[in-house]
C-alpha cells in the first residue's frame, strides 16, 4: 500500500508523533510505502511530497511542530482539490490519504472523501473541541503550559496582593480554561459557553480579601464574553491577517476589575506558547495510537472515517459526525469547577 | 453533614488535590464540616483527626504527598476496625467516611461499608491497575516522570553507543512501562502481562545497530519476567521491610544483554521519583473531580461505591467491582506499542 | 542574637530560600532568635512581625513568593523610618535587620544603616541589574521560563511560517532578553542598552526566508526602544497604578514588522509568569548561600554591607556600591549574542 | 580559516550548543569553513569528518547528546595521534582543532598542542570538577535533574515516614551532590571530599524524628565513602566494561541506615538521567559563549588554551592549568551546606 500523509491547520504538539507512528506501523507491519505532502493540502495540490522512511521520522517523537509543514488553504483551491480528488490517487500513486488536522481539515477531508479519494482522518486541536472523540492530542500539553503559568502567577499575585487575569486559548470552547483553571486552582473561570458577570468576580475577590486571602487569579478563555449589559466590552477590529488588533477579553476584564475593585489587576495573555513545543507523555501516547489505528483502518478499507478516543479505546468514527457540531464544555463540567476559593 | 477523610497506602501525586476538593465542595455547596484522620486507618482507629477548613487546604493543590499522612494497617487491626465500624460514625460524629487509596484501602473500605459504616471511596494508584475506572490520578504524573527520564537517557545512549534498560514501576500491571515506553519511544517494552524473551531484544538491538542506529533503550516494568527457560533469573529474597534485596529485573536484563551482545548495557532504576512530587495538570483535574463527586455521592446517600472515570464522565461504581480483579494491560494495547524502531 | 528579616519589592523566586537559610543558620550554628517582619518595611514600622523557628520555614525552600509578604513603602514613611531607625533595635529587640530586596530596598537599607540601624542586606531582582554581584537569585528562573517559552514558540513560528516577537521583562537592563534570547536561539535580540532599528530586523527575517528558513523569533526586553526616527513608537500613558495602558514595545514591533514584511508577525508578552513560582536549583543554591553569609556577616558585625556573588565566592560588599549604578549589559556581551541565524 | 571540531568523552548537555555556536560565529563573522570529526579523536585519526554549515547545526541548540558522536580513545591510539599531530593540519586542511571534552580530552588536547597541532580547547563535564573555570556546562542541567528528583522524593519520604538515600553522580568531586543537596533541601550530604560517619546520619535522622519530622532525605555522591572503620563497605568488583557490578555507596548506606535505625531506608540511584537531554538555559548560554570565544581565540592565534568562565567573563586559560588538578569542593562550601534540618 502507498500512504500519503499531510498536516494542516495551526501548530499542535503531537503532530510529529502521529507522522512517526503512521510510518512505523505502515512499514513494520505491512511493508507499506509512505509519502508526506508538504504544507498541508497545498502540497497535495502542487504535488510536493517526499518519501517518509524510518530515517525521516527518527528523533521526531518529542519534537513540537510538524516536519511536513502546514498552511491554510483558500476555499477556491479546496474546491479545485475536490474536483480532482479522484485523480490524486493515480497522480501520486497513493491508495489512501491520512490528513491530520482540525475542524477545517476534517471538513476538507470529508469533501475529498465524498469526491472519491480514500481518506482516513486524524483529528487535531489543542482546543479539544472536536466532537466524537473524548480528547484530542495537543490539548493536554496546552493545559499543562497554562497550568504551569497559573502556578507561577499565583505566588506573584499573592506577594503583590494583586488580581491576575490569565487569558488562555479557546475561541469557541473553553476546555483549556476549564482544565487549566481547575488544575491551577484559579479562583474564577470564564468560558465562551457561559456569559460571565464581572460583578460576580468582584464579589468573589472581595470575599477572598475579607477572608485574608489578599489575591486572586482568574482564568479566562479568549472567547469568553460578559453577559449582556454587565460590562462595556467591544471585540477588536480584525486586521488583514485575521487577528484582532485591540485588547482581548483578558485585558479588558483586568481593567474593568481594577476600576471596580480599586486594586491592581493585571492581565497576562499566554498566547502561542500554549500550542508549540514538546508534547506531554499523554499527548505522545494518544498521537501514537491515532497514527497506528489510522494505518490499520486504511488496511481494513475503512475510509471516510477518523480516529477517536472513546474511554480507553481508539475507535473509527464517521468524519461527518466529527464536524457537524463543536464539542463545548457542558454545564455539569462547569459546575464541577465552581467550588473554588 | 460531617465528613471524614483519610489517605492510605503509598504516596501518589494528587492526594492533596482530592482532600482540597472534598473540603471545598463540602463547605461551599453544602455547608458541611470535614475532618481528616491522620495516618490512614490508624487515625480512624486511634481517634486522631483534625478539622479541615478552607485554610487547612490552602495551597496544597499542587503539592505532592498527603497533608494527612498515610500508613499501612496490619490485618489484625483492620479486623478490629470492622468490628467497630458502626461505632465510628457515632464516636467521631461522622456521617460518611471518604477513604482515598489503592486496592488494599478499597478492600478495607468495602469491609467497613459492609460492616455498616457509610463509605464513599476514591481510588488511588500510580499503577493505573484498578478496575472499573479508565484512569487513576497519579498515573499520568508517574508516566510523565518516566518519559522525561527516557527522553534524557536516549541522548546519552546514543552518544555512548550503548543499550539502556530503564526499570519503571508496575509490579502486577505494566501500564507505566507501556505508556512511558510509547511516549519516550523505547525500542523494547517488557510488561508483567507478557513474558519476554531476551533473544528478541538481542535481535532488535542487532538490527538497529545494523541499520546504523547504534543505541537502544528498553523500558521494563519492575514486575516483568523472562519466559520460562529463556534466561537465568531469580527474583531476590525479601527482607523484613518487604523489599527485595537483590538485583531486580532491570539490572538482571541489562547484564544479560551485555553478555549476549558484547556491548555495554546499563540499567537505570527510576524508583520512587515516579510516585512523589507535584502532580501533572491531568492528575490534578482528575483528583479534583473525584473529590467533588465523592461529596455529591455522600449527599445522595450512595454508599459502598467509589468514584470512577468512564470516558469523560465521573461515575459511581460499586467498591466490589473495583477490587475483584486487577486491571492489566490487554493484548491490543501491547500490540499498539510494538511497531517501534 | 536576635535577627529581624523582611522581604520587600516585587516577587522573585528564591525569597523563601533566603528566609529559610537565615533561620537554619542562625538557629543551628548560633542559637539565635529570628523574627520576620510582615509586608516589608511596613511591618517594621507598624511592629507587625512573627517568630521564625524551624517549623515556620519547613517546606518553603522550593516555594515561590515570600511567606513574609511584601509591599511598597511610600517615600514619606521611609523618611519616618529613618528618623526612628535607632529605636527599632530597641523596640523590636533586634540586633540586626536583614532586608531582602531590590535597588529600592537596598537604598532604604542603606539609609537605615546610615541612620544607625545595624543592617546586612541581601540583593534580589529577577532583572540581574544590581551592581557588585555577578548574579542575583530569581534571574536564572526568569531566564528559564522565558527560554522555555521561546523553545515552544519556535516550533509554532516554524509551522505557521510566521515571525514571533517575544517581550520579556527588563525595563532598564536587558539581561533576561540577552540570556533567554541566546538560550532559546532567538534570531534577533533587542535590549534597552542599545537602540534597535526595525530595518535590521526586517533584513534578518528576509535573509532567513531567502535561505528557506521561513520563520523567525525575536526576543525583546520590555525596556528596548527603536533608534531615533527608525520607527513610529510612543510609550503608553501611565495609569494610576503605575502601569502603561497601551501597547508595549513587543506589540508595537510585531505590528511594525508585519507592516514592513507583509508577513504575519505576532507578539507574545510573557509578563508576570517570569517572576513567580518554584525557583531553579541555581537560584535556590544562590539564595541559600546569601542567607547563610548574611547571618555570618551579622555575627562578625559587618553592617552596612550586602551579600554578593563574586566568581564562586560569596563576599560582603558595601551597600553604597550596589545602588550607585545599575548593572547594564556591556557591549561585549551583546556582541556574543549576535552571530545567530 | 578552516576549523575542525570534535566532541569526546561522556554525554553532557550543551555539547550541541557549543558546536552550533562555533559554526555560527565562524561563518557569520569570519567566513570560515567548519568541519566536524565523528566519534571524537577516532574521527580525527581515521579521517572521518563532515562539513558543518548553518543547516547542519539548525535546531540542535536545545538537543541533548552530540551530533558528532563521541567515543573513548585507547592510550595507544592517542600516542599515535600525537606522533602525527603536525600532519593533521595538512591532511584535513584544518588551521585549528577545537576539541570539546573533559579532563581526558583536554589532556589529549594538550599533548596534541605540544606536538604542534594548533588547538583551542573547550572544557566539558557535568561534574564541574575542571580547574581554572568557575563552572562547566552540563553541570547546571545535572543539578537540575537531581534536584527535581529530590523534590519528588521528599514528599514520598514524608508520606511513607521513610529515609531516602539518593545517589547522584560525582566520582571524584562532590559538586552535584553539594548543589542538588542544597537546592533540594537534603538533610544530609555525603561527598568524596570528606569521609562520612553513618553514626552522624543516624543521629540526624533520630533528632528529626524526635522533632516530629518523620522522614529524611540524604544525598550521596557516588564517590562518597565512609570514614575508616565507621561502616563495613567494600566497593564492587569492576567488570570488563569498567563498571562496578555490585551495590554502590547509595545502596550500601541505605541498608546500613535501615539496620541501625530499624526504620525503612530506601536507595534511589539516579544514574544516567543526570547526563542526557535538553540543557538548561544556563548551560546553553555558557556553552554558546564557550563556542564563540573559542573561535575568537583561534582567530587571535591563542593556541594551547581553553575557554573558562571567570566571574562573568569568558577567559582563555592554559590547557596545562586545567588538567593538573581536579577541582574539588572546598571546606567552606561544605560548611555552607551543613545547617540544614
A215 and A163 in a single domain? The answer is yes
Of C237, C260, C276, at which residue does a domain stop?
A: C276
Question: Mean pLDDT over all residues of chain A?
Answer: 92
Residue B285 with chain A: CB contacts under 8 Å: 143, 179, 182-183
Closest CA to B205 of B157, B168, B269: B157
Q: Locate the DSSP E strands across B181-272.
A: 188-190, 216-221, 265-269
Centroid of chain to Cα C219: 18
Selecting among B32, B39, B127, B283, the annotated active-site residue is B127
- Facing residues of B97 across strands? B4, B119
Distance from CA of D149 to the nearest CA of B (A): 6
The model's pLDDT over C162-190, given as tens digits with 9 standing for 90+, comes to: 999 999 999 999 999 999 999 999 999 99
**B330 falls within a domain:** no
Helix H or strand E encompassing D312: none
Cβ atoms of residues B67 and B38 within 8 Å: no
**C340 falls within a domain:** no
A194 and A227 in a single domain? The answer is yes
**C336 falls within a domain:** no
* Contact state of D183 with C341 under an 8 Å Cβ cutoff: no
D146 and D126 in a single domain? The answer is no
Cβ atoms of residues B10 and B101 within 8 Å: no
The model's pLDDT over D198-250, given as tens digits with 9 standing for 90+, comes to: 999 999 999 999 999 999 999 999 999 999 999 988 765 455 555 554 568 99
Distance from CA of D33 to the nearest CA of B (A): 25
Q: Is the pLDDT of residue C138 over 80?
A: yes
Least confident of A288-292, A325-329, A336-340, C281-285: A336-340
* Contact state of A339 with B24 under an 8 Å Cβ cutoff: yes
Total number of domains in chain B: 2
What is the spatial distance between Cα B283 and Cα C58, in angstroms, rounded to a whole number? 25
Q: Is B185 on the interface with D (CB under 8 A)?
A: no
**A133 falls within a domain:** yes
H runs (alpha helix) in A93-125? 103-114
Q: Number of C to D CB contacts under 8 A, please give it.
A: 107
pLDDT at res. B159: 82
Q: Is the pLDDT of residue A238 over 70?
A: no
Residues A258-278 have a mean pLDDT of 94
- Facing residues of A123 across strands? A101
Residue A21 with chain B: CB contacts under 8 Å: 339
What is the spatial distance between Cα C168 and Cα C174, in angstroms, rounded to a whole number? 9
- C306 is written with which cell numbers? 550586602
D69 and D151 in a single domain? The answer is no
- Interacting residues of D178 by C-beta distance below 8 A, sequence separation 6+: D189, D191, D329, D333, D334, D337
A148 and A216 in a single domain? The answer is yes
Residue B149 with chain D: CB contacts under 8 Å: 273
Listing DSSP states for C211-253 in one string gives: TT---EEEEEETT--B-TTSS---PPPB-TTS-B-S--HHHHH
Closest CA to C265 of A9, A241, A70: A241
Q: Is D301 exposed, middle or buried (0-12, 13-18, 19+ CB in 10 A)?
A: exposed
User: How crowded is residue B103: how many other Cβ atoms within 10 Å of its Cβ?
Assistant: 19
Of A276, A305, A333, at which residue does a domain stop?
A: A276
Closest CA to A181 of A209, A149, A156, A212: A149
Cβ atoms of residues D224 and D174 within 8 Å: yes
Listing DSSP states for A167-178 in one string gives: EES-SS--HHHH
User: Phi/psi at A256 (nearest 5 deg)?
Assistant: -60, -45
User: Is A50 annotated as a binding-site member?
Assistant: no
Residue ranges at the known binding site of D for ATP: 10, 72-73, 102-105
Structural Rg of chain C based on CA atoms:
22
Convert D80-130 into a string of H (helix), E (strand) and C (coil): HHHHCHHHHHHHHCCCEEEEEECHHHHHHHHHHHHCCCCEEEEECCCCCCE
Q: Is C203 exposed, middle or buried (0-12, 13-18, 19+ CB in 10 A)?
A: exposed
What is the spatial distance between Cα A332 and Cα A186, in angstroms, rounded to a whole number? 18
Closest CA to A137 of A309, A317, A323, A338: A309
User: How crowded is residue B335: how many other Cβ atoms within 10 Å of its Cβ?
Assistant: 12
Helix (H), strand (E) counts: chain B: 12, 11
pLDDT at res. D340: 62
- DSSP state for residue B33 in the 8-state scheme: E
Q: What CATH number is associated with residue B234?
A: 3.40.50.460
Helix H or strand E encompassing D181: helix D175-184
User: How crowded is residue C303: how many other Cβ atoms within 10 Å of its Cβ?
Assistant: 18
> Which 194-233 residues of chain D touch chain C by CB within 8 A?
211, 213
Q: What percent of chain C has pLDDT over 90?
A: 81
What is the spatial distance between Cα B51 and Cα B34, in angstroms, rounded to a whole number? 6
Residue C70 with chain A: CB contacts under 8 Å: 159-160
What is the spatial distance between Cα B208 and Cα B215, in angstroms, rounded to a whole number? 7
A159 and A248 in a single domain? The answer is yes
D83 and D102 in a single domain? The answer is yes
Biggest alpha carbon distance in chain A? Answer: 71
Residue B329 with chain A: CB contacts under 8 Å: none
Which of D159, D258, D270 would best serve as a mutation to test chain B binding (most B beta carbons within 10 A)? D159
Distance from CA of B131 to the nearest CA of D (A): 25
What is the spatial distance between Cα C133 and Cα C307, in angstroms, rounded to a whole number? 8
Q: What CATH number is associated with residue C296?
A: 3.40.50.450
Q: Are strands D265-269 and D163-168 parallel, antiparallel or unpaired?
A: parallel
Cβ atoms of residues A153 and A268 within 8 Å: yes
- Interacting residues of D149 by C-beta distance below 8 A, sequence separation 6+: B273, D166, D180, D184, D268, D270
Query: Which residue range is the domain that position D69 belongs to?
Result: 2-138+279-323
Torsion angle of alpha carbons D249, D250, D254, D257, nearest 10°? Answer: 50
Full strand arrangement of the beta sheet holding B120-123: B49-51, B33-37, B2-7, B96-101, B120-123, B305-310, B313-318
D17 and D52 in a single domain? The answer is yes
* Contact state of C152 with A264 under an 8 Å Cβ cutoff: no
Q: Are strands D313-318 and D305-310 parallel, antiparallel or unpaired?
A: antiparallel
- Residue D322's pLDDT band, with cuts at 50, 70 and 90, is confident
**C334 falls within a domain:** no
User: What ipTM was predicted for this assembly?
Assistant: 0.95
- D136 is written with which cell numbers? 562547566
C223 and C250 in a single domain? The answer is yes
Q: Is B331 on the interface with A (CB under 8 A)?
A: no
> Which 99-158 residues of chain B touch chain D by CB within 8 A?
145, 148-149, 151-158
- Facing residues of C86 across strands? none
Residues D192-200 have a mean pLDDT of 96
D182 and D269 in a single domain? The answer is yes
**A335 falls within a domain:** no
Q: Locate the DSSP E strands across D196-272.
A: 216-221, 265-269
User: Is A160 annotated as a binding-site member?
Assistant: no
What is the spatial distance between Cα D317 and Cα D305, in angstroms, rounded to a whole number? 5
B42 and B59 in a single domain? The answer is yes
- Facing residues of C166 across strands? C219, C268
Predicted structure pTM score: 0.96
Q: Is C10 on the interface with A (CB under 8 A)?
A: yes
User: Helix, strand or coil for residue B192?
Assistant: coil
D181 and D32 in a single domain? The answer is no
What is the spatial distance between Cα A180 and Cα C253, in angstroms, rounded to a whole number? 30
User: How crowded is residue D161: how many other Cβ atoms within 10 Å of its Cβ?
Assistant: 16
Whether D129 is catalytic is: no
Q: CA C200 → CA A254, C187, C261, D166, distances in Å?
A: 35, 11, 12, 51
pLDDT tens across the length of chain B (341 residues): 999 999 998 899 999 999 999 999 999 999 999 999 999 999 999 999 999 999 999 999 999 999 999 987 787 888 888 888 888 888 888 999 999 999 999 999 999 999 999 999 999 999 999 999 999 999 999 999 999 999 999 988 988 889 999 999 999 999 999 999 999 999 999 999 999 999 999 999 999 999 999 999 999 999 999 999 999 887 654 555 555 545 689 999 999 999 999 999 999 999 999 999 999 999 999 999 999 999 999 999 999 999 999 999 999 999 998 888 899 999 999 999 986 65
The model's pLDDT over C292-314, given as tens digits with 9 standing for 90+, comes to: 999 999 999 999 999 999 999 99
Distance from CA of C269 to the nearest CA of D (A): 19
**C60 falls within a domain:** yes
Q: Is the pLDDT of residue C240 over 70?
A: no
Closest CA to C318 of C302, C300, C301, C306: C306
H runs (alpha helix) in chain C? 15-30, 41-46, 75-83, 85-92, 103-114, 139-160, 175-184, 198-210, 249-261, 281-300, 319-323, 331-336
**B309 falls within a domain:** yes
Q: Is D56 exposed, middle or buried (0-12, 13-18, 19+ CB in 10 A)?
A: middle
Amino acid at each position: 500500500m502507498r500512504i500519503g500523509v499531510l498536516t494542516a491547520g495551526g501548530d499542535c504538539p503531537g503532530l510529529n508523533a502521529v507522522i512517526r507512528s503512521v510510518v512505523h506501523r505502515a512499514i513494520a507491519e505491512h511493508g507499506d510505502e509512505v509519502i508526506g505532502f508538504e504544507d498541508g493540502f497545498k502540497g497535495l495540490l502542487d504535488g510536493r511530497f517526499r518519501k517518509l522512511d524510518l530515517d525521516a521520522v527518527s528523533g521526531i517523537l518529542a519534537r513540537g511542530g510538524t516536519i511536513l509543514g502546514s498552511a491554510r488553504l483558500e476555499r477556491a483551491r479546496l474546491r479545485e482539490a475536490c474536483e480532482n480528488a479522484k485523480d490524486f490517487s493515480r497522480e501520486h500513486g497513493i491508495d489512501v490519504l491520512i490528513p491530520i488536522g482540525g475542524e477545517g481539515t476534517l471538513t476538507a477531508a470529508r469533501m475529498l472523501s465524498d469526491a472519491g479519494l480514500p481518506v482516513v482522518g486524524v483529528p487535531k486541536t489543542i482546543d479539544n473541541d472536536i466532537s466524537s472523540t473524548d480528547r484530542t492530542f495537543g490539548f493536554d500539553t496546552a493545559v499543562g503550559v497554562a497550568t504551569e503559568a497559573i502556578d507561577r502567577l499565583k505566588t506573584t499575585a499573592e506577594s503583590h496582593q494583586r488580581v491576575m487575569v490569565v487569558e488562555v486559548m479557546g475561541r469557541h470552547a473553553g476546555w483549556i480554561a476549564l482544565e487549566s483553571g481547575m488544575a491551577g486552582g484559579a479562583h474564577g473561570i470564564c468560558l465562551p459557553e457561559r456569559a460571565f458577570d464581572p460583578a460576580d468576580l468582584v464579589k468573589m475577590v472581595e470575599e477572598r480579601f475579607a477572608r485574608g486571602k489578599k489575591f486572586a487569579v482568574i482564568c479566562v478563555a479568549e472567547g469568553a464574553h460578559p453577559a449582556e449589559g454587565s460590562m462595556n466590552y467591544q471585540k477588536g477590529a480584525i486586521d488583514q491577517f485575521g487577528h484582532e488588533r485591540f485588547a482581548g477579553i483578558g485585558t479588558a476584564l483586568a481593567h474593568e476589575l481594577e476600576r471596580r475593585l480599586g486594586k491592581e489587576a493585571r492581565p497576562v495573555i499566554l498566547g502561542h506558547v500554549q500550542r508549540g513545543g514538546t508534547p506531554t507523555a499523554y499527548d505522545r501516547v494518544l498521537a501514537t495510537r491515532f497514527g497506528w489505528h489510522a494505518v490499520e483502518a486504511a488496511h481494513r478499507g475503512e475510509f471516510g472515517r477518523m480516529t477517536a478516543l472513546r474511554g480507553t479505546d481508539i475507535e473509527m468514527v464517521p468524519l461527518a459526525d466529527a464536524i457537524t457540531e463543536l464539542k463545548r464544555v457542558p454545564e455539569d463540567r462547569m459546575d464541577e469547577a465552581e467550588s473554588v476559593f
